[in-house]
Structure 1
Amino acid sequence: MSRQAAERQGRHGEAAAAWWLRLQGWRIVGRRVKTGRGEVDLVARRGRTLTFVEVKTRGTQEALDLAIDEQRLRRVVDAAHALLPRYGKGAEEVRIDVILLRPWRLPVHLRNVWHG
């Protein structure tokens, strides 16, 4: 897959994940938020819960199984720490979530994946 096609697939996946979260009652407060430490695909809030969301879109389950690992997750965690002053006011629970997407399947929402 070309870099442009992968970028397009990623943007479509992030848009689908944002809609999925909205249907679950979340409000999207940030998209593709970059820091010096990394990027967070989505920042969402529901009540006093704030979540930093990594979105992975792949064509097969096998590819999704390899899409997220500790190193990739660590970049999201580092970026979330940098973004907490901007988005965390009033949050009682802050977590890292992952949403996995593949064609013709409902999104898989992995909640609170980082316990470090």
Structure 2
Amino acid sequence: MNARRDAEARGRRSETIAAWWLRLKGWRILDTRVRTPAGEIDLVARRGRIVAFVEVKARPTIEEARRYLDARALQRVARAAEVLAPRYAREGDDIRIDGLLCAPKSLPRHLQNVWHG
């Protein structure tokens, strides 16, 4: 149970770092950890006319985090984004799925429009 709690804490820290990284890049965080029957969205962010549903992956290296941003994870995010889009997007907005990779001693890496399902 301790390992699960530690992983949860690491995940929350990574999501906080990811949110601040996006803010520094001009994004406004609309919501965090939004649960739906289809899945959970780590971050919902807006910059101008773009609404991004962001999946945050944290691993020991950026490369390892990228491997975990796989089709299964992105499909889950896409299903949840379909449910949530009416809540956050306005007419004319572009909606996309982004990834944000975190690793110790590395700057976060923002991958834009990673789902083309």
TM-score (norm 1): 0.94
Q: Name the CA distance, whole Å, in 2 between partners of 1:88 and 1:16.
A: 24
| Matches for 1:1-116 after TM superposition, within 5 Å | 2-61=3-62, 63-116=64-117
Q: Deviations over 1:59-99 (max 9, x none)?
A: 13453243121011100000000001101124521110000
How many residue pairs were aligned? 116
The answer (yes or no) to whether the contact 1:55–1:100 under 8 Å persists in 2 is yes
The answer (yes or no) to whether the contact 1:50–1:91 under 8 Å persists in 2 is no
Q: Name the CA distance, whole Å, in 1 between partners of 2:46 and 2:92.
A: 9
Q: Name the CA distance, whole Å, in 1 between partners of 2:58 and 2:91.
A: 31
Unaligned runs of 5+ in 2: none
* Cα distance, 1:103–1:82 mapped onto 2, change above 3 Å: same
The answer (yes or no) to whether the contact 2:57–2:102 under 8 Å persists in 1 is yes
Q: Name the CA distance, whole Å, in 2 between partners of 1:62 and 1:47.
A: 30
| Runs of 4+ residues deviating >4 angstroms | none
Deviates more, 1:62-71 or 1:74-83: 62-71
The answer (yes or no) to whether the contact 1:49–1:91 under 8 Å persists in 2 is no
* Cα distance, 1:83–1:111 mapped onto 2, change above 3 Å: same
